[in-house]
Structures are given as C-alpha cells and as structure tokens.
Structure 1
Amino acid sequence: MTIIIPLAQINKHKEEILNTFRKGGVVLYPTDTQYGLGVLAGNRGAVERVIEVKRARRDKTVSVIVSDIEMAEKYVFVSDKARRLMEKYLPGALTLILPSKDKNLAKSCGNEHEIGVRIPDQKEILQIVSELSEPITTTSANISGVEPKTDCKYIINDLKGIDLAIDGGELKGEASTIVKLSGSDCEIVRQGSLAVVFE
C-alpha cells in the first residue's frame, strides 16, 4: 500500500519522507516537469528497485537530483561551460550529463564515467534532498516505453512497488532537456521543455 502525502503537507510529514529514503524506499515525487521515481542514488539495491518498478532493462542508467551546484560538485566535474549553463538555467528543466567524480555513485546509477544531474525548480523536493545531504534518483514515473502519466493517482495504479507518493496534482508532463558536456563539446541528447542557448 502506497502512502500518499499532498505536496502542501510535505513539511508536516518530512521525517516520514526522509526515513523512507533512508530505508531504501521508492518515492514518487513531483518536479517542474514530470513525476519522478526517487531513491538514495548511492544505494544500488534501491536503484535496482526503481528499475524493477519501471520494468526497465537492468542496464538502464538514471539521473540524479542535487540540491544545488555545490552538491553537484561533490559528484561530477563541473567545467566553466557547465557552470555557466547551471547558473543560467537552474533551477529548471535541464539535465546535464557530466563526467563523474564519484565512481561509486556513478556505478550505482548505471554508468561509471558520467552522471546526469538535475536541479528542478521544485523547492520542496530540493529541500528534501538538502536534508538528506546526498542525491536522489530522478527517472520518469512510467513503465519503460510507455508515455508517462501526469497525475499521481494514475501513476500509483500503473506502477507497483512505490512506498510513498508526494502528490503535487496534475503536472504539465513535458520532459526536461538533456545536454551532455564532454570537454569543450556540447550535445543536446533530448530536446525537452527548455530551449538551451550555448554561449
């Protein structure tokens, strides 16, 4: 049975949410784009649970949410170009794939060489991540290959294995833009809701 907490009551239930993450639970949460599935990203067993919930391939990679640029720098190498993009567009609907600094976290997320990093414009979720003091996974809350739903209650009906859901109502549903940075190269991996201009 999934515990459902309205976003407006998140502060009242904060300890319950934090404890769910710390115990390896799977949390459904709203972002500025779509609902995401989150666990502590460094807990490989929990990450595997997320992949099972999505019915995805075992080799699927997942991105992470960090609370701010300072937290990002603990886990990935942030070049000057990456920092400019972060300062210009984050918090916002942008995922940056950057070279990994923390190989254990990177392996847990499915690729030891790079990690996708997000700072969504969703202050309640960023506060949770800040209090956890470590990243959580962010991957779309859908069965792999199926269009993501935009309403919490429909997602819970579709996906089995969600321990706790933070209900943020119906979301707009358009995915984040994904940009990969490697050295001086920039590549738009997925064009989403944010139009990125490279300087």
Structure 2
Amino acid sequence: MLKDEVNKALKVIQDGGIILYPTDTIWGVGCDATNSEAVKKIYALKQRAESKSMIILVDVDNKLQNYITEVPEIAYQLIEFAENPLTLVMPGAKNVAPELIAEDGSIGVRVTNNQFCQQLIQRLRKPIVSTSANISGQPSPEYFDKVDQAIIDGVDYVVDIDQHSHEKRKPSTIMRLAPNGSFEFIRR
C-alpha cells in the first residue's frame, strides 16, 4: 500500500500537481519544491501571502547542501540529536522555486523521518514543499479529520495513508541558524 501511494503521489507531483499527505508532524500540502507553478497553486489554495515562505522536506541530511549554499556544521548535530521534528531556517537557499525563498534569502528545511515522505522524495529526486494543510490563519489540523474540506477539494491527490489515525500531531520545532552556527528558536 505504501508503495502504491508513493507511486500515485509521485505521478501527480511530476505532472505539476499538489498533494495532501501525512508527514512526521501534521498533515501537509506539498508539491515539487522546484516547480514554481505548483508552488503558486499551494499559495492560492491556502490563501497565503507569498511573503510568508513555506518549508521544504529532504529525505536525508546529506542533501542539505544541494539547497543551502553553506550548511553550518552544527546543523547536522541539531538534526541528529533533535527529539522532535526540527525545521532549520538557513540563509543561502538555492535550487528551489524562487517563491519558496524568503526575502532574506533563507529557506526552512526539515529532514523527514516519515517513510512515505522519504520514499516520495527519493523517487522524485527533489525536495517537496511541506506546509500545514489549512487555509492561512486557521488552526493547523492535528489529524486528517480536522483538514478543511476546501483543502481536500483543492488538491490534486489525497494520500490514502494514516487518514483514520486520531493521534494528535504538532508542527515541527523551528530554529533559525546563521552561517556562523548561532541559532534562535522561532517556534518550540
């Protein structure tokens, strides 16, 4: 079943579509992080200002340098020892859709430990966008049944994994990381 869902989601994403999918945190809306048109569809669906950037997911930490010009050494330690899913906001974003890059040149990246996400990213050979499955300003859905119908209707594919789980999930911890290794918490 996992393989089938990865295949279906992969086809949609390769065709420029957007998906609703489970992550290692809350349910997310995503697409190919290098496809500007697909990224714009997500902003439109979420009714989100493009000045509010979205994060990307990678499957393994050694891919960080493909999307960040200079990854501080501490980033790898923070990822390795984080007890909860951790999103790192780092400057020097590259090789992603320009719409994902914040005004200061940074982007948020999380190394996912969710099997579906890892397999999808491996097959796509690119990062995927991950943004909470809600209309901007509304609460993030703790599980699938809390996802707004407008989001479900607005995506090109809804991944059929973990839809019946009522385990309450929380968004990731977010830290801003400077090239010199200094960091600050944005969301704990």
SS in 1 for 2:113: coil
Distance 1:89 1:30, change over 3 A: same
SS in 2 for 1:118: strand
Aligned-partner Cα distance in 2 for 1:156–1:145: 12
Match of 1:114 in 2: 106
TM-score when normalising by structure 1: 0.83
Native 8 Å contact 2:26 2:169 kept in 1: yes
Match of 1:145 among 126, 137, 149: 137
Match of 1:161 in 2: 154
Native 8 Å contact 1:20 1:27 kept in 2: yes
Q: Which runs of 5+ in 2 are unaligned?
A: none
Aligned-partner residue type, residue 181 of structure 2: S
Match of 1:79 among 52, 72, 76: 72
Aligned-partner Cα distance in 1 for 2:82–2:47: 32
Match of 1:36 among 28, 34, 40: 28
Q: CA RMSD in A?
A: 1.9
Deviation at 1:106, TM superposition (A): 5.9
Match of 2:184 in 1: 187
Distance 1:153 1:29, change over 3 A: same
Distance 1:89 1:121, change over 3 A: same
TM-score when normalising by structure 2: 0.87
Structure 1 runs of 4+ with >3 Å offset: none
Match of 2:42 among 31, 42, 50: 50
Q: Matched residue pairs, number?
A: 181
